[in-house]
Amino acid sequence: MRSCAFRVPDPSFSLLPVTGNLVSHEQLEELKALAPNVHVVRGDMDEACPSSLPASAPFPDTKVVTIGELRLGLCHGHQVLPWGEAAAWYRWLRAPIMRLMDVLLAFPGIVIALTIIAILGRGIENVILAIAIYQIPQFARLAHGLALSAQEQTYVEAAVAGGESDVAILSRYVFPNIVAPIIVQVSLLIPGAIMTAAGLSFIGLGVPPPTAEWGAMLQLSLTWGRLAPHMTIFPGLALMLVVFGFNVLGDGLRDALDPRLKGRG
């Protein structure tokens, strides 16, 4: 059984990780005897050292976080967008909701995420929740702003004059007209969510091992990277490609969602 050493508190043993990646159990015991102050973490290679196995985990848990965030995003979208719309439609709701959003916006997102992780503890679900919560105000403000302009359109006035209920107006007249920018915003915030998740893992507050995570891999590569540059390059490249991919997706969605551009060469 092979193990790997995680942290090297003493700089004089900086060479150890290189061998540590490859040492056998027996060798490790020898090393421990030689240098008792080396902190050695033992475990199954596949679980404890995912960073050394990028090929076996081409899509590590960043994907899970993304899908989870997306699901939660759409779900909080369902809850947040109506609030943004409602804040635009009902004047008396405007101040309480939007000022609350301003308060949330006043903190850098990562601080809110850190606070939530600190309260709830580490774990995939908590990372997803933390990211989803700090992104709420961005959606609420976008929905509010878009709804403010959409509801001034004549067709909304016409709908009111036609005796439509408030719910029908918000869901069938305002919502479809603001949903395209929101979807684009979702696709643009996904990279942000991935980066935040990676960032949280990087500082050790994200998805805990043994789950593979790009941020955690990069963190590992800080100590190992000079001698094993692939540990920096591949997770970094994967992150970059996914983030870039979602940006392209956002661009494509914006074009695809405009009904006026439909059916035109």
Partner 1 sequence: MTVALLEVENLKTHFFGRRGVTKAVDGVTFSVEKSEIVGIVGESGSGKSVTSLSVLRLVDAPGRIVDGTIRFEGRDLLAMSREEMRRLRGRRISMIFQEPGTSMNPVLKVGFQIAEAIRSHERVTDAEARRRTLELMDLVGIPDAAHRIDQYPHQFSGGMLQRLMIAMGLALSPALLVADEPVTALDVTIQAQILDLLRDLRDRTEAAVLLITHDMGVVAETCDRVLVMYLGRVVEEAPVDKLFDAPLHPYTQGLLGSIPKIEEKVEWLEAIPGSVPSPHDVPSGCRFSNRCPKVMDVCHTAEPPLIEHGPGHRVACYLYTTEAEEDRG
Among 168, 203, 222, 233, binds partner 1 (CB under 8 A): 168
In the bound state with partner 1, the residue whose beta carbon lies nearer, of 177 and 211, is 177
The least distance separating partner 1 from the CB of residue 200, rounded to whole angstroms, comes to 38
Of 48-56, 171-179, 205-213, 219-227, the window that binds partner 1 (rule: CB under 8 A) is 171-179
3-class SS of residue 7: strand
3-class SS of residue 206: coil
Instruction: Tell whether residue 163 is a contact of partner 1 (CB under 8 A).
Output: yes
Kindly write out the interface string for residues 70-99 of this chain, putting x where it contacts partner 1 by CB under 8 A and - elsewhere.
---------------------x--------
Size of the site for partner 1 (CB under 8 A): 20
Of 16-24, 50-58, 169-177, 214-222, the window that binds partner 1 (rule: CB under 8 A) is 169-177
In the bound state with partner 1, the residue whose beta carbon lies nearer, of 67 and 179, is 179
In the bound state with partner 1, the residue whose beta carbon lies nearer, of 14 and 165, is 165
Instruction: Tell whether residue 255 is a contact of partner 1 (CB under 8 A).
Output: no
Give the DSSP per-residue string, the chain.
-B----B--SGGGTTHHHHHTT-BHHHHHHHHHH-TT-B-----HHHH-GGG-GGG-SS-THHHHHHHHHHHHHHHHHHHHHHHHHHHHSHHHHHHHHHHHHHHHHS-HHHHHHHHHHHH-SSHHHHHHHHHHHHHHHHHHHHHHHHHHHTTSHHHHHHHHTT--HHHIIIIIIHHHHHHHHHHHHHHHHHHHHHHHHHHHHTT-SSPTTS--HHHHHHHHHHHTTT-THHHHHHHHHHHHHHHHHHHHHHHHHHHH-GGGTT--
Instruction: Tell whether residue 155 is a contact of partner 1 (CB under 8 A).
Output: yes
Among 83, 173, 234, 246, binds partner 1 (CB under 8 A): 173
Instruction: Tell whether residue 157 is a contact of partner 1 (CB under 8 A).
Output: yes
Of 4-12, 30-38, 127-135, 155-163, the window that binds partner 1 (rule: CB under 8 A) is 155-163
The least distance separating partner 1 from the CB of residue 83, rounded to whole angstroms, comes to 21
In the bound state with partner 1, the residue whose beta carbon lies nearer, of 111 and 158, is 158
Beta bridge partners of 2: 24
Instruction: Tell whether residue 177 is a contact of partner 1 (CB under 8 A).
Output: yes
In the bound state with partner 1, the residue whose beta carbon lies nearer, of 11 and 259, is 259
Of 55-63, 80-88, 172-180, 189-197, the window that binds partner 1 (rule: CB under 8 A) is 172-180
Instruction: Tell whether residue 153 is a contact of partner 1 (CB under 8 A).
Output: yes
Counting runs of H as helices and runs of E as strands, what totals does the chain give?
Answer: 12, 0
CA distance linking residue 140 with residue 200, whole number of Å? 24
| N-terminal to C-terminal alpha carbon distance within the chain | 62
Question: Which residues bind to partner 1, rule: CB under 8 A?
Answer: 91, 153-155, 157-165, 168, 172-173, 176-177, 259-260
